[in-house]
């Protein structure tokens, strides 16, 4: 896609909606900016973790596949159970 954009008075650029949709950009996403001579390149910085806790709810931020979401949920559930068991065993040894 080729288009022209110009900064507003505060120096902000607005990307056209078709480009935001194509790049899956939403408010709050972070872009990495690189400049070399007359060229400016912006790349989305994607989260490295697929599961992220937002407002107390686990949100999946990775690519969708049939098996990835259940596998990630199982792994996260196992981590939580393991941590909770360790916490319980530590608290019982204190008494």
Domain presence at residue 4: no
Cβ atoms 61, 52 nearer than 8 A: yes
- Which pair of tokens denotes residue 41? 């390149």
Give the list of residues 6+ apart from residue 19 with CB closer than 8 angstroms, or none: 1, 3, 25
Domain presence at residue 58: yes
Range of the domain at 56: 51-93
**Over the stretch 22-56, which tens digit does the pLDDT of each residue have?**
888 888 888 999 999 999 999 998 767 677 778 88
**Over the stretch 56-93, which tens digit does the pLDDT of each residue have?**
888 877 766 666 777 878 888 888 888 777 766 655 55
Domain presence at residue 75: yes
**Domain total of the chain:** 1
Domain presence at residue 83: yes
Domain presence at residue 71: yes
Domain presence at residue 18: no
Q: Which of 54, 8, 51, 2 is nearest to 28 (CA)?
A: 54
pLDDT of 88: 64
pTM recorded for the entire structure: 0.46
pLDDT of 11: 93
Domain presence at residue 89: yes
């Amino acid at each position: 896609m080729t288009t022209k954009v110009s900064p507003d008075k505060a120096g902000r650029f607005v990307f056209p909606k078709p480009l935001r949709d194509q790049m899956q950009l939403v408010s709050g996403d972070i872009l990495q900016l690189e400049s070399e001579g007359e060229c400016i390149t912006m790349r989305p910085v994607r989260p490295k973790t697929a599961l992220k806790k937002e407002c107390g709810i686990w949100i999946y931020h990775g690519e969708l596949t049939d098996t990835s979401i259940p596998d990630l949920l199982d792994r996260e559930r196992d981590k939580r159970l393991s941590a909770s068991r360790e916490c319980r065993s530590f608290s019982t040894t204190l008494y």
